[in-house]
């Protein structure tokens, strides 16, 4: 079994486990009373053993993603983890008793085909190149600047765009989290434990996880979830993939004659993610 196949299997497992954790947490949130009905909804959610179980399952999913990054590039792993949206459909239907709409299945199949073509035609490489410190500093500085600008625009801009802007900031931060995970995993796989503990990547990863979680909740509180959730879901893999190309020198090895097919696959994947995220957000609203 090749390293890329191992990574693909781990990434698929990660997508399935993350979808399971997400569905469990959504179920707990749906069981809580609305603030005007009972109050203390957020506190009740955080004190729910089932919610923490769902969070724990999601952490396992993240660890599986980190393991996948040990064997392959961000360009290979991230598209596969997006399939958590596909797995969430039957899981949510199973736990809630609701039928999956035909259009959601169509978009789920389109997502799967888009990801499949992206990987088969793109044939992403895994160079394991040691990134130049200047690339680390430059990419991190750019990310901080973009997130700060998005938050300032969200604060001073039109209220109707606030959820979208904060959602983008959250997605970008999570994208950096995946990128930093790759850096930590590369040092671990080389047996450089001391480097892991002394390299800024580990501590920046912890910060990114905390900030990303805070921004995610801020995005949900800022307005319509139909705006924030698609923005997060698209921005995260795009950001981490771009960083993989810039910092770790990852590449698609697509033949020139098939570039058009790669572009079509990317477009289909992004549109499918947006549509499935909107469907998930609409379901949350209808349940409330």
Digit-coded pLDDT (tens) for 125-172: 876 667 788 899 999 999 999 999 999 998 887 667 888 899 899 999
In a domain, 14, yes or no: yes
In a domain, 58, yes or no: yes
> How many domains, the chain?
2
Q: Are residues 116 and 20 in the same domain?
A: yes
Look over the chain and give the mean of its residue pLDDT values, rounded to a whole number: 85
In a domain, 36, yes or no: no
Q: Is residue 32 over pLDDT 60?
A: no
In a domain, 239, yes or no: yes
pLDDT higher for 105 or 32? 105
Q: Are residues 152 and 230 in the same domain?
A: yes
Q: Which of 34-38, 93-97, 186-190, 251-255 has the highest mean pLDDT?
A: 251-255
Q: What is the pLDDT of residue 105?
A: 92
Averaged pLDDT for residues 9-35? 78
- DSSP lists the bridge partners of residue 252 as 124
- Cα distance between residue 275 and residue 194, in whole Å: 44
Please report how many Cα atoms fall inside a 13 Å half-sphere around the Cα of residue 254, on the Cβ side: 17
Written as six digits, the tokens of 116 are 């499949």
For 282, phi and psi rounded to 5 degrees? -65, -40
Q: Are residues 147 and 197 in the same domain?
A: yes
Q: Is residue 98 over pLDDT 80?
A: no
What is the domain range of residue 227?
133-249
Q: What is the pLDDT of residue 158?
A: 65
Q: Using a pLDDT cut of 90, give the percent of the chain over it.
A: 44
Q: Decide: 245 and 201 in contact? Cβ < 8 Å.
A: no
Q: What is the pLDDT of residue 283?
A: 64
pLDDT higher for 12 or 31? 12
- Cα distance between residue 101 and residue 273, in whole Å: 16
Over residues 167-182, the pLDDT tens digits come to 899 999 999 999 999 9
Averaged pLDDT for residues 69-76? 92
Q: What is the pLDDT of residue 39?
A: 45
């Amino acid at each position: 079994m090749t390293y890329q196949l191992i990574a693909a299997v781990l990434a698929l497992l990660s997508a399935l486990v993350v979808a399971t954790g997400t569905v469990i947490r959504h179920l707990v949130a749906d069981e809580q009373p609305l603030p005007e009905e009972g109050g203390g909804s957020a506190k009740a959610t955080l004190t729910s053993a089932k919610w923490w179980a769902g969070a724990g399952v999601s952490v396992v999913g993240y660890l599986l993603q980190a393991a996948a990054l040990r064997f392959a590039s961000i360009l290979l792993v991230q598209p596969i983890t997006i399939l958590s949206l596909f797995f969430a459909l039957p899981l949510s239907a199973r736990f809630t008793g609701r039928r999956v709409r035909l259009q959601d299945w169509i978009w789920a199949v389109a997502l799967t085909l888009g990801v499949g073509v992206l990987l088969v035609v793109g044939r992403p490489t895994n160079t394991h190149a040691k990134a130049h410190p200047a690339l680390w500093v430059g990419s991190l500085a750019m990310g901080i600047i973009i997130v700060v600008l998005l938050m300032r625009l969200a604060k001073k801009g039109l209220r109707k765009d606030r959820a979208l802007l904060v959602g983008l900031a959250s997605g970008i931060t999570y994208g950096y989290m995946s990128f930093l995970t790759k850096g930590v995993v590369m040092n671990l796989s080389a047996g450089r434990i001391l480097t892991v503990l002394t390299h800024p990547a580990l501590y920046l990863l912890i910060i990114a996880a905390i900030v990303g979680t805070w921004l995610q909740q801020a995005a949900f509180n800022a307005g319509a979830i139909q705006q924030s959730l698609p923005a997060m879901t698209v921005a995260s893999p795009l950001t981490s993939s771009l960083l993989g190309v810039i910092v770790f020198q990852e590449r698609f090895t697509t033949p020139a004659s098939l570039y058009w097919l790669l572009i079509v696959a990317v477009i289909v994947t992004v549109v499918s993610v947006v549509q499935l995220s909107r469907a998930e957000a609409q379901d949350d609203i209808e349940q409330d």
